[in-house]
Structure formats: C-alpha cells, structure tokens
Structure 1
Amino acid sequence: MIMNIKGEVMFKNLFKKSKVNDHARDYSNVIITDKSDFSLLEAYKTTRTNLTYSLMNSEDKCKKIIFTSSIPSEGKTVSCINTAIAFGMAGSKVLVIDADLRKPKLHVCLNLSNETGLTNYIVGMEKTSDVIQTTEYGIDCITAGHIPPNPSELLASPKMNELFIETSEKYDYIFIDMPPATIVTDPVSLSKYVTGVVLVVRQNYTNKDYLDKAVSNLKFANANILGILLNDVETSDRYYLSRYRYKRYSYKYRYYE
C-alpha cells in the first residue's frame, strides 16, 4: 500500500507513560501555540500546507475532515487538535468536533467543560450555539457531551448532517475526531458527509494489517482518504520518510482493551 503522508510529527511527551489517570493528565505541553518547539510547530504547519493542496479541487466551501486511526493510542485526538490550530494560525475559522462518543478526549486536552456537547445537540436538548465553546487557541470546539448508550445510532442521525450544514456557514474548516476505523463503524458511516479523511499512524506501533483494514473499511464506503499523518517519528527516520511513501515497517501491535 502506497499512500501520501500529509505530515510527520516528532513527539517528546505525548506517548510517555503517565502515572495519573488520562482525564487528569496535563496536555498543555503537546498542544501547539506560537511559542511551541520549532520542530513540532513546523510539522503541523507542513501538515496544514499538504492538506490545503490536497483539498484545492474540493467544491466544498467549508472543508470537513475526519481524523481517525486504525487502533487506539496513535495520537489522533492531539493530531486533530493541533492540525486545527495550525489552520487557525493561518487565519482560517476553525471548528473541532469530538465525535468519539465512546472515549471522548477533546475536553480533556483543551481543559473544556463537557457538561453539554454533541450528544445534547443530536438528541435535541441544545441548539448549535449552545454547544460551541471558544478556546484560547483560536479555534472553536464542540465537545462530546455525556457518553450515550447508543453512539453509532446518534452519529448516524440526520442531525449530524444538519450540524455540518449549519456550521459550514460560519467556518472554513471543520475537523472531526472519531474512533479507530477498525473498531467501530462510526468514521465509515460519517465519511459520506465530509470532504475527506486523515488516518493517523504511529510509527513502530501501528500494525500494517490493521491499517490495511481501516483503509479497506473507508474505501468500501467511498470515503475520500486524503492521506496519512505519521506520528511519533524518530529523528533518524525523517530523511527516509521524506519521500512521502508509507513503507512496510516492522510494526509491533499491543492489545488495548
């Protein structure tokens, strides 16, 4: 499988094991600002540039992009947030939606309230304006809200398309964080509403068979796969990866519940 790599990111802190619960973790050191480490900031600016070129032929006034992965713990949520912030830095109006209704993390990463969010909107309890939060990073967000018993059914609701139509009038880009595409069908079912999909791949971690399965699932739904964002790249591998090809690394897969 050969796919375009839209970005390569070296993280020093994201994948370090933490002694605290994930919901108590401080993500401020991996969320980019204009004062972030140069290499980290430039990595996401490169991702922004590559995605911009990939979307040049799209007729969508507002570009809607799903971020997903093949397995958990590949860094898709932080990648989605940082890519969104990079677009915001360039002057675009950006909205990030947490559509991972099983293990939502957007509110944790950005220290936002999750009392009301996407689920509240879908079931008709709140209006769009009630669930959008502004952030200090120059982007707006819709958190997941309370975890529902039927996430797949909620995401398949016509209300999701209504949300995209309404928010498309205000924003240039909408980034949607979603669960891994091999574990649930959510990214596949929602792909029909969006401009494209980015697959986050963690180097020396992602199993190629699972990645192939994720790609297969998305292609079956005729999703527009924009490319791969390669995460946790080691410095010594950057020259090798600069040819923008996905290679058959010797991946290791660890089971996560």
Structure 2
Amino acid sequence: MAINNKKQESANADNLVTLHHQKSPATEAFRTIRTNLQFMSPDKKLEVMMVTGSEAGIGKSTISSNLVLTFSMTGENVFLIDTDMRKPRLHKIFGIPNFQGLSSYLSGEKNNLEELMVKHEETGTLLLPSGPIPPNPSEMLNSNKMEKLLKECRKKAEITIIDAPPLLPVTDAVLLSNKVDGVILVAETNKTKKEVFIKGKERLEQVNANILGTVLNKYPVNNSSYNTYENYYYYGEE
C-alpha cells in the first residue's frame, strides 16, 4: 500500500509541474500563458475558460490543472471543473475522491454546489470533480442547470477553468464552448496530426466559439519560444 501511495505522489509531482517544480522552464511557460490570457481581453476579463483538444490523450487535463494552479499563485480565487463525464481525469491528478461531483449537481441529486467542491490543500484551489459517469453527458452539459452553475462560478471565483472532453469523438465540448468566455486548444508534439487539429478547430468556429490560442504540449523545452503569440509550449506527461 505504501508503494502505491509513493507512486501516486510521484505521478502528481509529474503532472502538477507548476506546484512541484516552480523554477522549471515548464512552469515559466505556464506563467507566460497566464500573463497573455490576462492581457488578451482588456475590455472584458476572461472569467470562465475551457481547455480542450481535437483528440484524447494529448494532455489537456495536465494543461488545465497547471494553468489553474498558476492563476491561484497570484492570490486569485480560482475554480477547476472536470466536465469530462465520460473519461474523467482531474480527480486522479489531484488525488481527490470522485464519488460525487458535477454529475451529482446536474442530475439534481445534489443542489448545493459548495458541498461538492473539494479544496486542494496545498494551493487553496477549489475543484469540482466529474462525479459518477451519467448516461447522458451531452444533455447535462447543455442544460439550464449547467448555465446556472457557470453563473455561480462567475459570482464566487475570479477565474474558472473547465477541463472539457475532446472535440472530435463527442459533442460535449462544442456545446460548452458558447457558455464560456474563451477556449484554449491543446495539441501534442509529434502526435496531433494537422488535419485532426484543423477539424477540431473548425467545429469550434462553426459555433462562433472564442478561440484564445493553442498550447503545444510536450514541445522540447530547449527549443521553446515562450513569447510566441497564440502558441504556448509545455513539456510534460499526460
């Protein structure tokens, strides 16, 4: 049992690079993303942002986790929500329970959002795990209850990051894209094919989603250019 715990701690350290490796180039890259997002919309603050990608397994959950931690380091009140109710991952990254969460709220089983939020003790970040996998994720995410949840987030948090499902396998992320202030796309170096990335981007454009930029995951650190507009680089594991 102790061995498993050590493995979990090691996995968390690898995923939460901004927390466990604060002087690394990867953490500096996330700080650059944060700064660019803060200045991207001077007239209207980006309060709710969604992280997604065209395909699964490209590190979007790792990106959203580190991005929210980077915002929390400025002292802002931040939320992180796992809306992937098909293959949730955030509870594994942060090592929190997932017996209740977003699906519990959207189904009406639980109506108090604050009771479902889990506080990450090291940073104070509030997390809403996905909860039990429901039979109808798309309908839940497109419901009035989801609209109500996001309104509550805007009232109670300065920044809310939504970890969304991939764009091409299911419609969930497209449905969410018009409910948020902006969308961050994730692609993986040497894995995401150009045509696959473009197809996912086109799905967002078809519904007039506000695409903020692209995070290129697992880009070699020594070659990264952290200040390139709309191209942010992070080297890490899924």
Give the TM-score, by structure 2 length: 0.87
Identity %: 34
In the superposition, relative to structure 1, how do residues 178 and 95 fare at CA in structure 2: closer, same or farther (>3 Å)? same
Q: Report the more deviating stretch, 29-38 or 137-146.
A: 29-38
CA distance in 1, matches of 2:230, 2:68: 24
Q: Deviations over 1:36-87 (max 9, x none)?
A: 3421221111110111111323256xx1000001111111001001000000
Structure 2 residue runs of 5 or longer lacking an equivalent are: 232-238
Please state whether the residue corresponding to 1:162 is helix, strand or coil.
helix
Is residue 2:93 matched to residue 1:109? yes
Please state whether the residue corresponding to 2:26 is helix, strand or coil.
helix
Counterpart in 2 of 1:56? 42
In the superposition, relative to structure 1, how do residues 202 and 124 fare at CA in structure 2: closer, same or farther (>3 Å)? same
Please state whether the residue corresponding to 1:27 is helix, strand or coil.
helix
In the superposition, relative to structure 1, how do residues 129 and 243 fare at CA in structure 2: closer, same or farther (>3 Å)? closer
In the superposition, relative to structure 1, how do residues 26 and 58 fare at CA in structure 2: closer, same or farther (>3 Å)? same
1:69–1:180: 8 Å Cα contact kept in structure 2?
Answer: yes
Please state whether the residue corresponding to 2:39 is helix, strand or coil.
helix
User: Out of 161, 177, 194, which is 2:180 matched to?
Assistant: 194
Equivalenced residue count is 222
How far 1:209 sits from its partner (Å)? 0.6
User: Out of 52, 65, 89, which is 1:81 matched to?
Assistant: 65
Letter in 2 for 1:162: K
Counterpart in 1 of 2:52? 68
Counterpart in 2 of 1:91? 75
CA distance in 1, matches of 2:75, 2:92: 25
CA distance in 2, matches of 1:34, 1:56: 31
How far 1:124 sits from its partner (Å)? 1.0
How far 1:30 sits from its partner (Å)? 2.3
CA distance in 2, matches of 1:109, 1:28: 9
Give the TM-score, by structure 1 length: 0.81
Counterpart in 2 of 1:44? 30
1:1-257 aligned at under 5 Å gives the runs 26-31=11-16, 32-33=18-19, 35-58=21-44, 63-126=47-110, 127-135=112-120, 136-239=122-225, 243-244=228-229
CA distance in 2, matches of 1:148, 1:110: 22
CA distance in 2, matches of 1:59, 1:115: 33
CA distance in 2, matches of 1:173, 1:242: 22
2:32–2:227: 8 Å Cα contact kept in structure 1?
Answer: no
CA distance in 2, matches of 1:128, 1:196: 23
2:214–2:230: 8 Å Cα contact kept in structure 1?
Answer: no
Cα root mean square deviation, aligned = 2.1
2:80–2:161: 8 Å Cα contact kept in structure 1?
Answer: yes
Give the structure with the larger helix fraction: 2
Letter in 2 for 1:76: K
